[in-house]
C-alpha cells in the first residue's frame, strides 16, 4: 500500500533540505604531513675552505689576513714554503661551506653544498673549491667537499658604472660533497617511537593518537603532550618499524588550529585563521589629511614700463580630507572570518589601517583570537 501523496511530498522536501544543508568542512591531512619521526632528521655540516681560480675578484690579502694564512698553510702541506714572503694574489677567496646531511645517508653518497665568501671577494664565478672537510656539531668529519662553484648572480663594472645581479659572492656545488661517515642511527632496532607535531596542538595530538589506535585496533599511541605522540612497537608487526611507519603515515587526521591573527607590520601582511571570532562591536575609521601645496607665480610690470619690478606672488592651496564619507560598521557576535573580512573591507581601509583596527578590537576584548606580530 502506497503512502498518501502529501507524505511522499514531505519526505522529498525533507530529503532535499538535508542534502542542501551545509556540512562542516573537514580538512583531512595525512599523519605524514603533520609530524616528524624522532631520529629521522637532517644534520647540519659546516667547513672552512678556499676557492681558487678567480679572475682577480678574490680577497685582498691586506683586508683578509685569514686568507693569506690559509694559503700559506695549504702550500706548506704541498711542500711550498712562503713564510715571510709578500703575497699579492687576488685569485683566492676564503669561504664557508655548508651542507645538510640527510638521514640515513650512506658512505659514498653525494650531497649538495653551499659556498659563501667570508672576506671582501667580489665574485666567486669560475672558481673551484679545494678539498674541504665538513664537520658536524660533534666536531667529527662527515663529508668532504670539492668542485667548481656555480653562482646564480654576476657583476660587471666599468669606469663610469657597474651592474650587479643576484649575489655573486655565494654559490652552490651540485653533488659537491662525498659522505665519509654515517650518523649511526638504526631505526629498525627501535622498540618505541615518538612523533613530533610540526604545529603543536592538544587537540591535534589527541586526534592523531586516536586515529592511529583506531587503525591498528589497539592502544598503541598515546599523546604525551601537545608536541609529541608516543608509539609502542607492536610485537611481530609485519615489516617491523618500517612497516609500522609506512602504514601510520597514510592515516588521515583532521588537524585543529587555534584562533590566531598573524600581522607583519613591515610588509602589511595579515593572515587570520578560520576560527577567528569577534563579539559585537561597532567600528569606524577615519583619517584627517591636510595637504598644503605652494605654487608661486611671477608678477611682471607692463611692457615698456619704467616703473614697477618683477615680483614673486605666493599662491597657497590647502585641502582637508576628514573622511566624512566613511561610515560606522557593526560586526555581530560570532561572525566568521569571511564576515570579519567583509566588514573591514566595507570601511574602505587598507592593510595598515586593518592592523590598527584589529589591535583596537583586541584591546576592547572583542577579538576571540591571539594576535601575533612578526617583523
Q: Tell me how far apart the alpha carbons of residues 116 and 123 are, in angstroms, rounded to a whole number.
A: 10
pLDDT (tens digit per residue) in 186-201 = 888 888 899 999 999 9
Q: What is the pLDDT of residue 24?
A: 46
Residue pair 142/88 in contact by the 8 Å Cβ criterion: no
pLDDT (tens digit per residue) in 261-318 = 888 877 778 888 777 777 776 766 665 444 556 567 776 777 766 666 777 777 766 6
Q: What is the pLDDT of residue 26?
A: 58
Place of cell 590566531: 260
Please tell me which residue, 155 or 24, carries the higher pLDDT value: 155
Q: Tell me how far apart the alpha carbons of residues 218 and 212 are, in angstroms, rounded to a whole number.
A: 9
pLDDT (tens digit per residue) in 70-113 = 998 898 888 888 777 778 889 999 999 999 999 899 999 999 99
Q: Tell me how far apart the alpha carbons of residues 206 and 166 are, in angstroms, rounded to a whole number.
A: 46
Q: Tell me how far apart the alpha carbons of residues 121 and 127 are, in angstroms, rounded to a whole number.
A: 11
Q: What is the pLDDT of residue 87?
A: 81
% of residues, the chain, pLDDT over 70: 75
Amino acid at each position: 500500500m502506497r503512502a498518501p501523496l502529501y507524505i511522499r511530498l514531505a519526505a522529498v522536501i525533507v530529503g532535499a533540505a538535508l542534502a542542501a544543508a551545509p556540512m562542516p568542512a573537514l580538512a583531512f591531512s595525512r599523519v605524514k604531513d603533520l609530524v616528524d619521526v624522532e631520529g629521522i632528521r637532517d644534520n647540519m655540516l659546516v667547513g672552512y675552505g678556499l676557492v681558487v681560480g678567480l679572475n682577480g675578484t678574490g680577497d685582498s690579502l691586506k683586508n683578509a689576513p685569514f686568507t693569506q694564512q690559509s694559503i700559506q698553510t695549504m702550500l706548506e702541506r704541498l711542500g711550498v714554503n712562503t713564510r715571510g714572503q709578500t703575497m699579492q694574489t687576488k685569485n683566492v677567496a676564503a669561504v664557508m661551506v655548508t651542507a645538510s646531511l640527510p638521514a640515513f645517508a650512506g658512505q659514498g653518497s653525494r650531497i649538495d653544498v653551499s659556498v659563501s665568501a667570508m672576506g671582501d671577494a667580489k665574485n666567486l664565478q669560475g672558481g673551484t673549491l679545494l678539498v674541504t672537510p665538513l664537520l658536524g656539531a660533534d666536531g667529527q668529519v662527515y663529508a668532504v667537499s670539492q668542485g667548481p662553484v656555480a653562482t646564480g648572480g654576476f657583476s660587471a663594472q666599468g669606469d663610469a658604472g657597474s651592474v650587479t645581479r643576484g649575489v655573486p659572492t655565494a654559490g652552490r656545488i651540485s653533488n659537491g660533497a662525498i659522505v665519509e661517515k654515517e650518523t649511526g642511527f638504526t631505526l629498525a632496532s627501535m622498540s618505541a617511537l615518538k612523533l613530533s607535531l610540526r604545529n603543536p596542538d592538544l587537540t591535534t595530538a589527541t586526534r592523531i593518537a586516536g586515529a592511529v589506535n583506531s587503525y591498528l585496533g589497539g592502544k598503541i599511541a598515546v599523546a604525551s603532550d601537545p608536541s609529541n605522540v608516543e608509539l609502542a612497537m607492536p610485537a611481530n608487526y609485519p615489516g617491523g618499524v618500517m612497516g609500522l611507519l609506512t602504514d601510520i603515515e597514510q592515516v588521515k587526521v583532521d588537524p585543529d588550529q587555534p584562533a590566531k591573527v598573524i600581522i607583519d607590520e613591515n610588509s602589511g601582511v595579515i593572515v587570520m585563521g578560520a576560527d577567528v571570532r569577534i563579539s559585537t562591536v561597532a567600528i569606524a575609521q577615519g583619517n584627517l589629511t591636510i595637504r598644503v601645496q605652494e605654487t608661486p607665480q611671477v608678477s611682471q610690470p607692463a611692457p615698456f614700463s619704467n616703473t614697477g619690478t618683477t615680483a614673486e606672488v605666493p599662491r597657497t592651496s590647502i585641502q582637508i580630507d576628514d573622511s566624512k564619507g566613511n561610515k560606522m560598521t557593526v560586526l555581530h557576535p560570532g561572525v566568521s572570518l569571511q564576515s570579519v573580512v567583509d566588514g573591514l573591507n566595507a570601511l574602505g581601509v587598507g592593510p595598515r589601517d586593518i592592523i590598527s583596527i584589529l589591535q583596537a578590537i583586541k584591546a576592547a576584548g572583542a577579538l576571540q583570537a591571539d594576535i601575533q606580530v612578526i617583523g
